[in-house]
């Protein structure tokens, strides 16, 4: 305990150490609910701040996942920073530069953080003061709304090891006055000391790169149209100060600990390590702390990969990219969504959304899952709550589900959650297409239910959206349920739709190039067919669909098949991407309007084997 106090004394100012546990401020009804559930106020506040104050459910999940976190009851404050983040056309241009510069020249230091203008230095704020801090930002933005020029004047600057867009000096002084006003409001309302940024205000494009890359990076930077329209968003981000100087690693593969000092790994989680902690570890192993649980331990080095620092930051468009408990989160989303500077209207652009299906039965329960839930007469009887209560009846019989598995109950919940999130963000879907796989059709149906569009919008079953047939086991394609039988099973399927590519055109064990060409062809035809009718298109397919349906649409050349497979392996259930049509007619990947969805593993539980074990 003494050692811990000594550590904190080095990183926390004395004034904060004296006052960090006092003057707790309620953060709306969420705090009241958590307190009524019996959680101590310090834990409830920490959970709300760590999850961005988005909901009671997320705060509860955070508390339950951190039950073994040795720092759960520690009153350490978090660190905060205020950024201006671009959105709209300029953001798309910057994102394109980010992607192209990385592909052309590899990663440089700028890739660790998303495009932004720094308005203040990192500062600390106790959990009990966070609501007041958000109020200070809201008050400052309200006073300054409409007082910034649009578009913000930016000028390209390049040197031997730095490229950036600098704010014109007079306007930069105006932004600094805004930051100073926020600092004064933060001191008054939250008793927090904020140091406004004193250096030249700019958006960093690249730095710490080899001199041989300067010409290529400069050429890409000159392609950025700095006069494009842009909404600049004033956003607060926070981070756990324990991990401020740690390396960020992304968990790629699951790992179950074999010894007490080892750390359980769940794909999608992040692990933080420091060079100091690695001094005594064995070769091939590292010591780290899980972001999702707060627990530390040894882990195999080849189960993780280095992540960009920006992978653990919140999202610019809606401040809430679903990085639950990751290093940086946007705070109090409902408060900050109104904090727009220089908002101006622009014509909405068509967007193509591509989404993977939900959790599938044969992955959870094994490829012979059907034998686990069939009675003596071969009738379907579920034996686990994650199995659907019934299966759609169709002419092929249950045996064909071996080749065309449905989604689980959790898979349906995942899809409805995505639909509800799309509804909450006012996202419109005008056309919905699905692979003929049952798991995709069911996922599309549940998304429509979440959006309250079931019965109003019909799913167009398109065989060409099926995954790479090389991955099909056996010598023939699955015997998919017909649209008529799907509709008879109360799925919102358009029985009048005529596919662009018929099932008869699909061949088993097709080449990689054939699959990509098929996916690109049907995507172009679908978008052309829907263009005259306007609106957004959602395609529900497979993990491979996100790359196959958007890569060539952006005018990019194909990756080789090995790279393609590595990308596909990283796409989780309900993984979604958004591709937006630009004025030039080219399509470009943009941030989806909703948060990602992370779902951890849950092992089967038999109370007899566990609780009655001698």
Give yes or no: 193 in active site: no
d(CA 421, CA 151): 31
What tokens were used for 166? 């600098």
Judged on CB neighbours under 10 Å (0-12, 13-18, 19+), 169 is: exposed
CB 249 within 8 A of CB 305: yes
CB 463 within 8 A of CB 506: yes
d(CA 126, CA 193): 12
Helix, strand or coil, per DSSP, at residue 260: coil
Helices (runs of H) and strands (runs of E) counted in the chain: 19, 20
- Closest by alpha carbon to 204, among 287, 130, 118, 313? 118
CB 512 within 8 A of CB 329: no
**CB proximity list for 555: less than 8 A, separation 6 or greater:** 586
**CB proximity list for 268: less than 8 A, separation 6 or greater:** 250, 251, 572, 598
Instruction: Please pick, among 197, 356, 445, 518, the residue that the annotation labels catalytic.
Output: 356
CB 547 within 8 A of CB 570: no
**Bridge partners of 202?**
166
Helix, strand or coil, per DSSP, at residue 30: helix
Instruction: Please pick, among 460, 500, 518, 542, the residue that the annotation labels catalytic.
Output: 542
CB 580 within 8 A of CB 590: yes
The crossing angle, in degrees rounded to 10, of helices 41-50 and 28-36 is 140
Report the sign of the C-alpha dihedral through residues 385, 389, 395, 398, in that order: positive
What tokens were used for 25? 């401020």
d(CA 197, CA 19): 26
φ, ψ of residue 231 in degrees (nearest 5): -95, 125
Give yes or no: 17 in active site: no
Sheet holding 351-356, edge to edge: 459-461, 431-434, 537-541, 351-356, 576-581, 587-590
Instruction: Please pick, among 78, 357, 360, 551, the residue that the annotation labels catalytic.
Output: 357
- Closest by alpha carbon to 48, among 139, 133, 140, 141? 133
**Bridge partners of 290?**
271
d(CA 302, CA 250): 11
d(CA 123, CA 125): 7
d(CA 95, CA 101): 10
DSSP codes joined into one string, 518-547: HHHHHHHHHHHHHHTT-S-EEEEE-TTHHH
Q: Which active-site residues does the annotation give?
A: 356-357, 542
């Amino acid at each position: 305990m003494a050692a811990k106090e000594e550590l904190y004394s080095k990183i926390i100012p004395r004034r904060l150490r004296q006052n960090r546990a006092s003057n707790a401020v309620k953060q709306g009804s969420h705090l009241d609910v958590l307190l009524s559930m019996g959680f101590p106020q310090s834990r409830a506040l920490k959970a709300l701040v760590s999850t961005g104050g988005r909901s009671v459910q997320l705060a509860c999940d955070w508390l339950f996942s951190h039950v073994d976190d040795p720092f759960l009851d520690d009153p350490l404050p978090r660190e905060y920073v205020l950024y201006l983040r671009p959105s709209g056309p300029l953001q798309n241009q910057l994102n394109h530069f980010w992607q192209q510069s990385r592909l052309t020249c590899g990663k440089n230091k700028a890739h660790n953080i998303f495009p932004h203008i720094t308005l203040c230095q990192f500062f600390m704020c106790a959990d009990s003061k966070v609501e007041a801090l958000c109020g200070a930002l809201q008050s400052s933005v309200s006073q300054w709304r409409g007082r910034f020029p649009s578009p913000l004047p930016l000028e390209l600057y390049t040197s031997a090891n730095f490229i950036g867009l600098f704010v014109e000096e007079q306007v930069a002084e105006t932004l600094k006055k805004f930051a100073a006003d926020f600092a004064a409001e933060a001191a008054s309302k939250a008793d927090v000391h904020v140091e406004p940024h004193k250096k030249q205000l700019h958006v960093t494009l690249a730095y710490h790169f080899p001199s041989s890359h300067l010409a290529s990076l400069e050429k890409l930077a000159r392609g950025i149209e700095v006069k494009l329209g842009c909404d600049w968003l004033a956003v607060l981000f926070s981070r756990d100060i324990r991990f401020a100087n740690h390396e960020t690693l992304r968990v790629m593969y699951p790992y179950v600990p074999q010894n007490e000092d080892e750390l359980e790994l769940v794909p999608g989680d992040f692990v933080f390590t420091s060079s100091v902690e690695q001094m005594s570890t064995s070769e091939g192993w590292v010591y780290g702390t899980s972001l999702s649980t707060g627990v530390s331990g040894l882990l195999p080095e080849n189960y993780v990969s280095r992540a960009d620092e920006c992978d653990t930051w919140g999202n610019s468009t809606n401040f809430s990219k679903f990085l639950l408990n990751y290093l940086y989160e946007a705070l109090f989303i409902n408060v900050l969504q109104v904090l727009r500077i220089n908002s101006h209207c622009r014509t909405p652009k068509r967007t193509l959304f591509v989404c993977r299906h939900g959790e599938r039965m044969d992955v959870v329960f094994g490829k012979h899952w059907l034998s686990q839930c069939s009675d003596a007469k071969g009738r379907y009887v579920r034996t686990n709550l994650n199995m659907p209560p019934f299966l759609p009846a169709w002419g092929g019989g249950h045996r064909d589900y071996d080749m065309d598995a449905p989604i689980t109950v959790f898979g349906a919940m995942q899809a409805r959650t995505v639909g509800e999130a799309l509804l909450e963000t006012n996202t419109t879907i005008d056309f919905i297409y699905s692979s003929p796989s049952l798991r995709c059709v069911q996922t599309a149906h549940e998304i429509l239910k979440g959006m309250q569009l079931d019965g109003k919008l019909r799913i167009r079953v398109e065989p060409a959206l099926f995954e790479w047939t090389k991955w099909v086991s056996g010598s023939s394609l699955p015997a998919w349920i017909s649209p008529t039988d799907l509709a008879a099973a109360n799925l919102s399927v358009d029985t009048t739709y005529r596919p662009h590519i018929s099932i008869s055109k699909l061949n088993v064990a097709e080449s990689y190039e054939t699959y990509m060409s098929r996916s690109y062809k049907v995507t172009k035809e679908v978008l052309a067919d829907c263009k005259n009718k306007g609106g957004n298109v959602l395609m529900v397919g497979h993990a491979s669909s996100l790359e196959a349906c958007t890569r060539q649409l952006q005018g990019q050349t194909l990756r080789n098949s090995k790279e393609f497979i590595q990308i596909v392996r990283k796409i989780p259930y309900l993984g979604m991407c958004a591709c937006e049509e630009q004025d030039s007619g080219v399509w470009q990947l943009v941030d989806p309007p909703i948060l990602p969805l992370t779902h951890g593993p849950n092992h089967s539980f038999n109370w007899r084997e566990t609780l009655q074990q001698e």
